[in-house]
Amino acid sequence: MGGRDPPMFCTVCGQPVDPTAQFCSSCGTKLSAPTGEAPPAPALPTRSSDLTRLSHLVMVWDKFSVAMNFQFQDPYGRPLGGTQGELAFPVKYTLFDETGQPVLMVDAQRVRGLHFEFVVHDVSGAALASLHVESSVLSRRYGLSVGGQENWALTTDAMGYHYQVEEVAGGRVLATAERRPAVRTSTTEISIADGQPLDHRIILGAMILAGYFTIRG
């Protein structure tokens, strides 16, 4: 014998309701999905195509590619865009989102001799920040200047596995990254702190530059 569906009652007024009804006939409260109706599928995590707003993303370098380019993904592996760069030194990169629209540019400007300053530009060509490299045996430091003031720095360990963007005064950490090399790829997971004062494009540009020097080093 087939069993009968258990009676349903309104959760507000307690009166019995028709299992197929959408609203209680006594008090008008909206009821849950009728018996037999499949519940809605869980929503996928929100996908954002805006690289300048994401706080968690992944930068991937394919070791077997001819160019030293980087692909960006969200934490679920969905593509967000990538760089197009030039093999020649000094470095020059443009970061595009997955629709092909440019997000930022990183290039080098000669200061004197073989000393260069690296600049992050917006899509109009206006400078957002400049960086210079300070190397040591145990770490590499990138002085990061915005508006002519070097108040921030990006530092890495000697092997280029751990990255940190921080304020020079006070040591407030604005972003961190961890690089995990594998046989074919090198994957860097980037986490940007909420409420930090730097434009995300500056942090992404700094990470592209640091990734470039890690590869060359």
- Residues contacting 141, CB < 8 A, separation 6+: 133, 134, 135, 153, 154, 155, 156
Q: How many CB atoms lie within 10 A of CB 86?
A: 13
Asked whether the beta carbons of 168 and 185 are under 8 A apart, the reply is no
pLDDT tens digit sequence for 24-58: 776 666 676 554 545 454 444 444 457 888 899 99
Residues 27 and 89 in one domain: no
What is the reported pTM?
0.73
Asked whether residue 186 is assigned to any structural domain, the reply reads: yes
The C-alpha atoms of residue 213 and residue 217 are separated, in whole angstroms, by: 6
Residues 195 and 136 in one domain: yes
The C-alpha atoms of residue 4 and residue 190 are separated, in whole angstroms, by: 55
Name the most confidently modeled range: 8-17, 20-29, 64-73, 188-197: 188-197
Q: How many domains does the chain have?
A: 2
pLDDT tens digit sequence for 148-199: 889 999 999 888 899 999 999 988 999 999 999 889 999 999 999 998 989 9
User: Is residue 53 packed enough to be buried (19+ CB in 10 Å), middle (13-18) or exposed (0-12)?
Assistant: exposed
CATH code assigned at 132:
2.40.160.200
Rounded mean pLDDT of 68-97? 86
Residues 132 and 30 in one domain: no
Residues 124 and 196 in one domain: yes
> Which range of residues forms the domain containing residue 204?
56-216
